[in-house]
Amino acid sequence: MNSSMKRLEEKLSEVDVTPQGISYNHPTGSSRRSFVKACGAAAALASLGHVSSRLPPVYAKENKVTALTSMYPVTIDGKWTNAEEWTDQPYDITAPGNVWKVKHDSDSILTLFDYIDDTQLNAFADPTRCDVATVRIDTMKNGGIKPQPDDYAFLVNWLSPDQPTLVMQQGTGNGWNDVPPLPSFSAASSMDASNDPYSAQPHMIYEFKIPKSILPPDTSSVNCRLGIRDGNKNIFYAWPKGSDRDNPNTWGELELSENVIPEFSSAFLPLTLALGIPLYVLKRYSKRREEIQSLNNKQH
């Protein structure tokens, strides 16, 4: 690892703060309607006591998240290319002023860092002061107290105001070494919030496309650590709680689910019928009562 990157990582560890829990965050407009339908169905199932394995698994633990299969294509341009781009992953990791999303497709693990509260680009040649986002992956889930050769780190840092620098690292058994980024690794960052459903005010956004070629065949889950830094406020948020970039034993589990957003699943057809029929009957009953009341009023 070069000395500048080492200084950056050392600085980040000093201000490491854990996100304040996981919650459901929903966008506005048409994407919000999609989210509400999906979560409404899930909430209805929960209230009826019928939550089952047919529902995609969601954040059962602080140290586990689920990446659903992507339904909408992602353009790695460091912004919401359109208002629907990330709404097929309604389950968010949240930190103060942050919304993070992870999903995947057949070739890549896709990650969004939407740092709503970071409204000032902090680009400095000094890596201890610049804005940065990181994704670290333990591909074989074998842990270790030090990064191993199957562990990879992907960084986007703003060392120059013109464009961010992409960095890829690999574990050595004792630490991290910079390696040439794979051609299939891409990432971008900007302050373009024009299509952002959470805030239209310009703020820092990062997108990562990490190739699955680094994973063993048929991998269904990996261990990972996510982090982001606001250089202006000197704040670094990381998931999971208490995780250490240099100790994969402390990282969380990322499940690569074959499920898609619940509203696209046929498992919700019985629920739709179960809830829709009573609602239809109730609506018809209410309408009939209004008709009778109107008739009575005319007779009197």
User: CB of 257 within 8 A of CB of 56?
Assistant: yes
Q: Considering the entire predicted model, what is its pTM?
A: 0.72
The string of pLDDT tens digits covering residues 163-202 is 999 999 999 999 999 999 999 999 999 999 999 999 999 9
The string of pLDDT tens digits covering residues 32-89 is 444 444 444 444 433 333 332 222 333 335 789 999 999 999 999 999 999 999 999 9
